Amino acid sequence: MYPPKRPQLSDLDVREVERLVRALGNPDHRKRDLLAVKRIEHIQKLYLAAVALVYSIDTGSNTEVAFTIDGKLSQDHELTYAKMGGPKKQGIETGIKDSICSREFSRDIKTELGVSEERLKETEQTALSAGQTIEKLERALGASNDAAEQEWLRQRIDEQKQVRLKAETELHASPVRNL
């Protein structure tokens, strides 16, 4: 519910509450029918840490927000947020439209977080280049019959794997990454 508010009796469906009570598994409650809910006694707000991923096309329309919880996409949270009009209610759609119009959104976020766009691009290119070099060296290793050459190729492969690992580690440590 957005904004968060205390639930009212009118928000509750007696049949749905009865279904939930029965689902809890107490056999005594299965023999009873719930006729009404008189009051709400205790409310506990629960929060779940998540990362929101905002997607939009260049025009800023059709903004979608996905959520990851413990590194896994949660489609239930995405659908619930979309159904309640979360992006519009929280100003995400307007913010995206304004940012896309100015073409400074990504740069502003990176600047605010102290991330160098040039360094990110350089690191991405380093990781990509190292991966391509590894593939070439592995093909050459498979085709080689010379023991000395094979040893030299293995050393170069190990070096390139270290270069790629260092670049990938740096990319994953960055709070902003290009997709």
CA–chain centroid gap for 142, Å, is 39
Mean pLDDT of 42-68: 76
| Contact partners, residue 22, CB within 8 Å, separation at least 6 | 29, 30
Q: State pLDDT tens for residues 86-111.
A: 777 777 766 666 655 555 666 677 67
125 and 162 co-located in one domain: yes
39 and 56 co-located in one domain: no
56 and 35 co-located in one domain: no
Which residue matches tokens 């979360």?
86
Q: Edge-to-edge, what's the strand order for the sheet holding 51-55?
A: 51-55, 64-69, 72-73
Q: In 3D, which of 62, 52, 124 has the Cα closest to residue 93?
A: 62
Q: Specify the amino acid at residue 115.
A: V
Mean pLDDT of 116-134: 88
Number of domains in the chain: 3
**Does residue 159 register a pLDDT over 50?**
yes
pTM attached to this predicted model? 0.42
Domain assignment present for 109: no
What domain range is 8 assigned to?
1-46
Does residue 4 have a cis peptide bond before it, meaning omega lies within 30 degrees of 0? Answer: no
Domain assignment present for 110: no
Domain assignment present for 178: no
